[in-house]
């Protein structure tokens, strides 16, 4: 029986690795690499129920909203449902009467489980409205919805062991109050100011009889704070940084200095900041059935949006620090997977991105931009096609029934085929990057002519058009979230292997607060003549995520040479030796052997060559590749990074790889034959 189970697991792993067309955090060797999903998943809130983990996060103006993800090991997650399919609280939700919900919508949810009633709850804010509440006895749904009588900024709902229910919330000043039994409002007279930390994003826990609150501090660095008390109302008088300067080596991208939304005449960008690391913040902690504790948080990952990361927790003086002993507050990008007492779980992405539209239901990964008009789209009118009927809109940004997916990083390609014979004069259909500014490539019908066009909102004066006689057009966008640039292509043969043409200049992507989301792929069809038009049929939608291929496999049993990526500090050399054999220490860990001696790290971080019969932490390094493929080596002795200083001397004392690549921690390696 055990043999059969093992075979099934290996088959699942094989299928998952072959079919995964997006980033998967599981490395298949007992380790994982952050982020958990290389796509936007902001304001995460995670819970454990028995042996199962559940996760939800912000979805702003997209619908369905508040996704429910499930995992057995905290690394491999699957999208199983949403808390709501549609939410209509006014004309701004459907972009009518000239209104919209960009940068608003539903955000910062609190996910909680009542062990006594066996009930799941999600509480979340909506701009201009009270806090929305959702309840279910099964995470797959159905979910009951009601609106509370107050709004609670970045709330954390907590069910205490005595049956009382509380809400902790605030930005800057943080408050706590007891909730009524109906979970509709606070009980009068129970509100208290509990902290003036300047923080937000509360997560409240009770661990070993003590109450612990975790916050995030807005700003350039955005550390996470924690405070504890033996009384739920405090005082919480000692606040410590438990997660600080966690950038995983990622530098700051383009910024939006001015735009028409800001009151400017045009879009103006600030340049990427190579010295600034985009940090991890706003999250919480969760335990495993084996008693381990893990932290989760989001990282502001430039234009792809905020991504979710997982960190080992080290308890120190009663506080849950993200990171490892000797390097508290700093999360490694690659580390050993949580111990959940289970065999290897199937390695698959959270949802399938590709879609041939052969089903009568959209795949779970799809979300509408705002509330759709469900009478104006179909999967059944033309089998194997998504049909979008055009509704009037002044431009793409206000087009109804735009269907979206979160973009995939770091590099990816998204493409789709469009059939145009149902379009009418003034219709515009295509493939877009929903952002601010936005860009798209599509087909416009002007009179009897069909024109392929690439439009960049930041450069509207550009004329990027090609007239076509083909009624079937294949469109593609290539995104590079390292450079934050995108390029658009078209084919009149619906086959890019035979016919491919670029159109327009590279488009600059940026994270901004107009949409308060990262870039999204979008399929759209609208009419610019203030009327309903015809229809466009979309088919064969594909996303090719190239991110995983940017990293090379660990060169076990091969001899390599290491060099500083910028060549500022030269080649790694110890006692005149510069070629090292890579020894497999399992779990993605290596030892470096030269002339029967191993590279060894002492307790004070000094590096030497040492003869030894048994390898220990002194000789072992976690092999970690950063997002550009740069290699960093984390010493298991100091839990800090190997660094080549400007004198060519090695140490293992660097807390975190610098985003500018100039600190001597990043290496490129070449095999020596």
Domains within the chain, CATH numbers bracketed: 2-244+282-336 (2.115.10.20), 251-278 (no CATH), 367-548 (2.60.120.200), 551-671 (2.80.10.50)
pLDDT tens digits for 269-303? 999 999 999 999 999 999 999 999 999 999 999 99
pLDDT reported for residue 21: 53
How far the first Cα of the chain sits from its last, in Å, is: 45
Per-residue pLDDT band for 20 (boundaries 50, 70, 90) equals very low
Confidence of residue 499 (pLDDT cuts 50, 70, 90): confident
Residue 110 sits at φ, ψ, to 5 deg, of -115, 120
Rounded CA separation 217/225 (Å): 7
pLDDT band of residue 9 (cuts 50, 70, 90) is very low
Query: Tokens 């990043």 — which residue?
Result: 666
Indicate if the pLDDT at residue 310 is higher than 50: yes
Q: What is the mean pLDDT of residues 450-464?
A: 95
Q: Per-residue pLDDT tens for 23-79?
A: 899 999 999 999 999 999 999 999 999 999 999 999 999 999 999 999 999 999 999
Residue 6 pLDDT greater than 50, yes or no: no
> Residues 616-654: pLDDT tens digits?
999 999 999 999 899 999 999 999 999 998 888 999 999
Report yes or no: 542 and 354 within 8 Å, Cβ to Cβ: yes
pLDDT score recorded for residue 628: 84
Contact 178, 190 (CB under 8 A): yes
In this structure, are strands 391-392 and 520-527 parallel, antiparallel, or unpaired? parallel
Sheet holding 280-287, edge to edge: 280-287, 293-300, 306-316, 319-324, 327-328
Distance CA 281, CA 202 (A): 11
Quote the CA–CA distance of 427 and 390 in Å, as a whole number.
7
Enter the pTM of the model: 0.95
Report d(CA 661, CA 12) in Å as an integer.
38
pLDDT at 408 over 80: yes
β-pair partners for 242:
none
DSSP 437-493: S-EEEEEEEETTEEEEEEEETT-TT---EEEE--SEEEEEEEEETTTTEEEEEEESS
What does the pLDDT read at residue 322?
98
Tell me the CA distances in angstroms from 613 to 404, 586, 590, 598, 619, one per residue in order. Answer: 57, 17, 15, 10, 11
Pairwise CA distance, residues 503 & 489, whole Å? 6
- The pLDDT tens digits for 583-616 are 999 999 999 999 999 999 999 999 999 999 999 9
Determine contact, residues 538/523, Cβ cutoff 8 Å. yes
Mean pLDDT of all residues in 1-25 = 49
Return the minimum-mean-pLDDT range out of 265-279, 322-336, 431-445.
265-279
State pLDDT tens for residues 120-146.
Answer: 999 999 999 999 999 999 999 999 999
Q: How far apart are CA 439 and CA 396, in angstroms?
A: 9
| Range list of β-strands (E), 317-409 | 319-324, 327-328, 334-336, 367-369, 377-378, 386-389, 391-392, 403-406
**Which pLDDT value is given to residue 647?**
85
pLDDT of residue 238: 84
What tens digit of pLDDT does each residue of 350-371 get?
A: 999 999 999 999 999 999 999 9
- Model confidence at 107: pLDDT above 80: yes
The rounded distance, in Å, linking the Cα atoms of 140 and 533 is 38
Which pLDDT score, from 0 to 100, does residue 262 have? 85
- From CA 202, how far away is CA 227, in angstroms rounded? 11
Q: Which residues, including other chains, have CB under 8 Å from residue 222's CB and lie 6 or more apart? A: 216, 279, 280, 281, 282, 300
Query: 220 pLDDT band (50/70/90 cuts)?
Result: low
Confidence band of 237 (pLDDT split at 50, 70, 90): confident
Least confident of 378-382, 450-454, 467-471, 547-551: 547-551
Residues 6+ apart with CB under 8 A from 610: 597, 598, 600, 618, 619
Q: How far apart are CA 643 and CA 662, in angstroms?
A: 11
Confidence of residue 16 (pLDDT cuts 50, 70, 90): very low
409-447 as b/e: b if 16+ CB within 10 A: bbbbbbbbbbbbebbebbbbbbbbbbbbbbbbbbbbbee
CB 412 within 8 A of CB 451: no
Confidence (pLDDT) at 14: 42
pLDDT digits (tens, 9 = 90+) for 188-214: 999 999 998 788 999 999 999 999 999
> How many whole angstroms separate alpha carbon 598 and alpha carbon 349?
38
Confidence class of residue 10 from pLDDT cuts 50, 70 and 90? very low
Q: What is the mean pLDDT of the chain?
A: 94
How far apart are alpha carbons 359 and 443 in whole angstroms? 26
Query: Which pLDDT score, from 0 to 100, does residue 557 have?
Result: 97
Residue 11 is predicted with a pLDDT of 39
pLDDT value at 8 more than 70: no
Q: How far apart are CA 436 and CA 509, in angstroms?
A: 8
User: What percent of the chain shows pLDDT beyond 70?
Assistant: 97
CA-based nearest residue to 480, from 519, 515, 449: 519
Taking the CA atoms of the chain, what radius of gyration do you get in angstroms?
26
Task: Find how far residue 226's CA is from the centre of its chain.
Answer: 23
Of 437, 424, 347, the closest CA to residue 389 belongs to: 424
pLDDT at 401: 98
């Amino acid at each position: 029986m055990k043999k059969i189970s093992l075979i099934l697991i290996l088959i699942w792993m094989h299928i998952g690795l072959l079919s995964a067309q997006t980033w998967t955090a599981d490395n298949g060797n007992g380790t994982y690499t952050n982020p958990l999903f290389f796509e936007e998943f902001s304001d995460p809130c995670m819970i454990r129920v028995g042996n199962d983990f559940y996760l939800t996060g912000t979805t702003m103006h997209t619908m369905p909203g508040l996704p429910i993800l499930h995992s057995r090991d905290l690394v491999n997650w699957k999208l199983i449902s949403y808390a709501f399919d549609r939410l209509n609280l006014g004309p701004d939700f459907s972009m009518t009467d000239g209104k919209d919900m960009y940068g608003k919508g539903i955000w910062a949810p609190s996910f909680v489980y009542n062990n006594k009633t066996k009930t799941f709850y999600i509480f979340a804010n909506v701009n201009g409205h009270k806090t929305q509440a959702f309840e279910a006895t099964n995470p797959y749904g159905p979910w009951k919805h009601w609106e509370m009588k107050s709004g609670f900024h970045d709330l954390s709902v907590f069910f205490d062991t005595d049956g009382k229910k509380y809400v902790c919330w605030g930005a800057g000043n943080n408050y706590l109050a007891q909730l009524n039994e109906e979970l509709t409002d606070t009980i009068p007279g129970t509100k208290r100011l509990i902290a003036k930390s300047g923080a937000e994003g509360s997560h409240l826990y009770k661990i070993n009889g003590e109450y612990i609150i975790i916050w995030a501090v807005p700003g350039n660095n955005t550390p996470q704070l924690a405070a504890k008390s033996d009384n739920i109302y405090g005082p919480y008088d000692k606040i410590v940084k438990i997660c600080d300067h966690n950038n995983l080596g990622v530098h700051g991208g383009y910024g939006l200095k001015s735009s028409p939304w800001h009151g400017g005449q045009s879009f103006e960008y600030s340049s990427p900041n190579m010295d600034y690391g985009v940090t991890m913040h706003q999250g919480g902690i969760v335990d495993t059935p084996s008693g381990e504790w893990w932290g989760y948080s989001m990282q502001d990952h430039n234009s792809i949006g905020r991504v979710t990361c997982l960190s080992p927790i080290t308890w120190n003086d009663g506080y849950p620090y993200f990171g490892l002993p000797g390097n508290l507050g700093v999360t490694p990008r690659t580390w050993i997977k949580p111990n959940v007492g289970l065999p290897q779980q199937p390695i698959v992405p959270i949802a399938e991105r590709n879609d041939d539209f052969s089903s009568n239901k959209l795949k779970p990964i799809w979300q509408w931009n705002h509330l759709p008009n469900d009478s104006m789209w179909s999967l059944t009118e033309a089998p194997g096609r998504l049909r979008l009927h055009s509704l009037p809109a002044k431009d793409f940004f206000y087009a109804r029934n735009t269907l979206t997916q979160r973009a995939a990083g770091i590099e990816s390609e998204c493409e789709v085929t469009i059939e145009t014979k149902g379009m009418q004069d003034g219709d515009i259909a295509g493939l877009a990057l929903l952002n601010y500014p936005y860009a798209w490539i599509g087909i416009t019908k002007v009179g009897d002519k069909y024109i392929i066009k690439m439009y960049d909102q930041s450069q509207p004066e550009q004329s990027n058009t090609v007239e076509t006689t083909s009624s079937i057009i294949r469109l593609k966008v290539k995104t590079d979230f390292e450079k934050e640039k995108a390029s658009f292509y078209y084919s009149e043969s619906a086959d890019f292997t035979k016919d491919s043409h670029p159109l327009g200049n590279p488009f600059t992507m940026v994270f901004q607060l107009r949409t308060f989301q990262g870039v999204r792929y979008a399929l759209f069809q609208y009419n610019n003549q203030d009327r309903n038009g015809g229809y466009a049929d979309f088919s064969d939608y594909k996303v090719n995520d190239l991110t995983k291929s940017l990293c090379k496999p660990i060169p076990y049993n091969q001899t390599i040479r290491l060099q500083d990526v910028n060549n500022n500090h030269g080649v790694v050399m110890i006692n005149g030796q510069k070629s090292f054999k890579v020894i497999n220490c399992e779990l993605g860990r290596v030892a470096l052997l030269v002339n029967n001696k191993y590279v060894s790290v002492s307790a004070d971080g000094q590096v030497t060559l040492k003869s030894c019969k048994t390898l220990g932490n002194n000789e072992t390094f976690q092999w970690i590749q950063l997002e550009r493929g740069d290699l960093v080596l984390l010493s298991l002795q100091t839990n800090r990074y190997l660094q080549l200083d400007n004198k060519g001397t090695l140490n293992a004392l660097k807390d975190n790889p610098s985003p500018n690549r100039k600190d001597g921690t990043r290496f490129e390696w070449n095999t020596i034959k």
